[in-house]
């Protein structure tokens, strides 16, 4: 008992020291130079000990005695958990089970137990220890554990009436299931529960989820006659145009209406012109279900709008008004704007649901349409309603009125009482240390758990704390959770300044533009990694980064080097400069190309010059449209944070026109087809 008490007293003393360091950082609001920056060399030394011990676990090296500083380090439990996971994989058994159970009991519900608990449950199931497994697995949402839970109930003879229904529900999931489900599905098969009707329902579920490959796997167990229309449906999702062409060429070929609709929707998004040319033949099919006609007409109209086709407005006019939902109504407005028909745009805005029409986006476009149809004086009060806003449409409206932008900026006050409580919270101390050790996912879990019941005032002070650590992503998210948007200095930090300035000079791109792209791309996370393998602060794919380095005579980066801020910023700035030059210096086009790729932007170029706001509104990809708008908003905010007059959107976003080189190429291509 005496040793235990001494250990607790030492731990408490260490916690007080960590608390003081956290609180000092938050009050001074001086973020560390790097993620590994620390209050003192002693802290850095114990972090190195912790990381070295974790590396020994990961690479299978023998453990060494833990020095006292490491034992009392806030993350020591993570090292213990890692060793338990290693032992569970190498030597599972009752002794290891008892050690794991003791650890989980001592740290119940804490984030340090999450992966250890899952691994232990999977190990118990693999060893058939159902008596221990089943009570512990009841609350797990992990798909593998869920399958093992069903298998355990089957194996242990616990077969209540709802067990077959639960197993069938898992079998019907429209996605591939883990291997742990195989014994459950085999049990259903032996029982004769997997009827042809259920198998067809499973295939349809996969098709509805847009997964034709999985649907074809499921359809292999169906009789040929029953599988044929479902296979056709899968082909419509895999190759919509040739499959629809074959259906249109044979009016008497049987095809499910839902399959035709799904394939035509897909084709309309990919190639609106091809869909429009196919539409008459599909509508002429004998026995066409009445509900399918407006569905196809609406898909064709949307495809034409995505392609910025002049026939889009006429296509929308052929759709019954009752079949035009809010999303389609918005694209009808966009089609009218692209074609310069402000009277139709106004009518389409009036037809939107009231809640949608009241959004700042459509308030702005209502004002633009009124100005074009009834004059500037009639539009002035409409612009004034949204010119007070700190967003893209508010700035556009203020430009129309020649008024200054209203940024509504204010500093959030420091609440030392809340800040002190947060700095002393063991979970936030662990979150900070995990972040500094580069374990960002685990740090995020600790942060979320510590603040799971936080109110708005607490989130604001937590944002200050995270910003002081240099964890800007978490700081900005905390402000969002607090619904506090006005502290622009906290929302728009300027880290990596030297690297940004150097990249700006090299590529001749304003620093504010680089800060804005960095904030939007990665939220300042130097090790950000996207599902598409885009990496680092500027989210460049390795292949793109190598090509940029070659063009700019920079050192060829490895994928790991893209996580280095100076490397990422140099290459990102160079890429943005390349795109701006490719599109004749037009910021809207360059930003859209950074997000969607230059080939997509070339497809979206207008034949004639048009206002930038109209072009941006008609970007077919919602993500890219929002990306351009948000970065322009960020540029305005970053200028304010350095005390400069905010740049006007009217100057940033020039009239959009095809670059001279592209216009010449387009004319040459046009002549070649004549």
Which residue numbers are catalytic? Answer: 521
Cβ 133 vs Cβ 124: under 8 Å: yes
Nearest-angstrom CA–CA distance, 348 and 332: 6
> Would you say 478 and 469 are in contact if contact means Cβ atoms under 8 Å apart?
no
SS (H, E, C) 605-656: CCCCCECHHHHHHCCCCHHHHHHHHHHHHHHHHHHHHCCCCCCCHHHHCCCE
d(CA 96, CA 94): 5
Q: Tell me the three state secondary structure of residue 589.
A: helix
272 to 149, 307, 311, 328: CA distances (angstroms)? 48, 6, 10, 15
Q: 196-200, long-range: CB within 8 Å, 24+ apart, which pairs? A: 196/222, 196/223, 196/226, 198/168, 198/171, 198/172, 200/226, 200/230
Answer for the pair 527, 438: CB distance below 8 angstroms, yes or no.
Answer: yes
267 in Cβ contact with 253 (< 8 Å): no
Cα gap 362→354, rounded to integer Å: 10
The Cα 552–Cα 575 span in angstroms is 9
Q: Which residues pair with 610 in a beta bridge?
A: 656
Which residues have CB under 8 Å from 495's CB, separation 6+? Answer: 31, 470, 472, 524
Distance CA 621, CA 519 (A): 20
DSSP letter (8 states) at residue 265: H
Burial of 115 (0-12, 13-18, 19+ CB in 10 A): middle
Question: Can you tell me the distance from the alpha carbon of 601 to that of 587, in angstroms, rounded to the nearest whole number?
Answer: 12
* Burial (Cβ within 10 Å: 0-12, 13-18, ≥19) of residue 212: buried
Query: 549-557 long-range CB contacts below 8 Å, 24 or more apart?
Result: 551/578
**114 in Cβ contact with 104 (< 8 Å):** no
Residue the block writes with tokens 């260490």: 14
> What element of type H or E holds 150?
helix 143-155
Residue 658: name the closest of 671, 650, 667 by CA.
667
Q: Which residues is 37 bridged to in the sheet?
A: none
- Of 613, 659, 658, 605, which Cα lies nearest the Cα of 632? 613
CB atoms within 10 A of CB 588: 24
CA 79 to chain centre: 31
């Amino acid at each position: 008992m005496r040793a235990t008490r001494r250990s607790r007293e030492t731990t408490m003393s260490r916690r007080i020291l960590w608390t003081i360091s956290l609180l000092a950082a938050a009050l001074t609001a001086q973020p560390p130079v790097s993620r590994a920056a620390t209050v003192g060399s002693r802290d850095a030394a114990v972090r190195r000990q912790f990381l070295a011990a974790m590396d020994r676990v990961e690479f299978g090296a023998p453990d060494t005695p833990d020095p006292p500083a490491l034992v009392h380090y806030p993350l020591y439990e993570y090292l213990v958990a890692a060793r338990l996971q290693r032992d569970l994989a190498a030597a599972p058994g009752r002794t290891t089970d008892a050690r794991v159970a003791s650890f989980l009991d001592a740290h119940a519900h804490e984030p340090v137990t999450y992966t250890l608990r899952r691994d232990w449950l999977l190990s118990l199931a693999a060893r058939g220890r159902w008596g221990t497994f089943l009570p512990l697995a009841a609350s797990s949402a992990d798909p593998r554990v869920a399958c093992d839970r069903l298998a355990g109930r089957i194996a242990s003879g616990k077969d209540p009436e709802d067990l077959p229904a639960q197993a069938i529900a898992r079998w019907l999931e429209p996605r591939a299931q883990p291997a742990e489900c195989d014994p459950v599905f085999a049990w259903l098969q032996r029982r004769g529960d997997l009827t042809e009707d259920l198998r067809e329902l499973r295939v349809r579920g996969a098709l509805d989820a847009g997964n034709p490959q999985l649907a074809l796997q499921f359809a292999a167990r169906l009789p040929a006659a029953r599988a044929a229309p479902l296979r056709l449906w899968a082909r419509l999702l895999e190759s919509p145009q040739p499959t629809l062409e074959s259906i249109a060429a044979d009016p008497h070929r049987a095809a499910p209406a839902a399959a035709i609709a799904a394939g035509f929707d897909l084709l309309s998004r990919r190639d609106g012109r091809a869909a429009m040319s196919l539409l008459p033949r599909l509508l002429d099919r004998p026995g066409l279900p009445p509900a399918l006609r407006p569905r196809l007409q609406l898909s064709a109209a949307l495809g034409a709008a995505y392609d910025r086709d002049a026939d889009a407005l006429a296509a929308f006019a052929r759709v019954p008004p009752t079949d035009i939902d809010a999303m389609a109504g918005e694209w009808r407005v966009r089609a009218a704007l692209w074609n310069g028909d402000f009277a139709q745009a106004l009518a389409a805005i009036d037809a939107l649901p009231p809640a949608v029409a009241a959004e700042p986006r459509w308030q702005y476009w209502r004002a633009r349409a009124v100005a074009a149809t009834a004059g500037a004086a009639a539009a002035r009060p409409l612009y004034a309603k949204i010119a007070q806003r700190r967003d893209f449409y508010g700035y556009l409206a203020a430009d129309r009125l020649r008024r200054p932008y209203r940024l509504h900026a204010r500093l959030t006050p420091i609440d030392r009482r809340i800040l002190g409580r947060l700095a002393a919270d063991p979970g936030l101390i662990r979150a900070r240390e995990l972040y500094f050790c580069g374990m960002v996912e685990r740090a995020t879990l600790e942060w979320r758990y510590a603040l799971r019941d936080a109110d708005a005032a607490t989130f604001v002070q937590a944002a200050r704390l995270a910003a002081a650590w240099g964890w800007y992503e978490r700081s900005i998210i905390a402000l969002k959770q607090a619904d506090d948007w006005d502290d622009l200095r906290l929302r728009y930090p300027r880290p990596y300044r030297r690297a940004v300035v150097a990249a700006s000079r090299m590529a001749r791109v304003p620093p504010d533009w680089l800060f804005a792209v960095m904030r939007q791309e990665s939220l300042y996370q130097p090790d950000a990694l996207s599902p598409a393998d885009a990496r680092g602060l500027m989210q460049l794919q390795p292949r793109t980064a190598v090509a940029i380095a070659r063009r700019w005579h920079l050192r060829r980066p490895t994928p790991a080097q893209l996580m280095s801020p100076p490397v990422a910023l140099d290459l990102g700035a160079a890429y943005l400069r390349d795109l701006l030059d490719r599109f004749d210096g037009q910021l809207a086009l360059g930003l859209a190309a950074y997000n969607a790729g230059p080939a997509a932007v070339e497809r979206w170029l207008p034949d004639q010059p048009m206002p930038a706001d109209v072009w941006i509104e008609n970007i077919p990809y919602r993500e890219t449209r929002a990306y351009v708008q948000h970065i322009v908003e960020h540029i305005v905010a970053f200028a304010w944070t350095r005390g400069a007059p905010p740049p006007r959107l009217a100057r940033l976003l020039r009239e959009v026109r095809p670059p001279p080189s592209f216009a010449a190429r387009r004319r040459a291509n046009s002549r070649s087809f004549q």
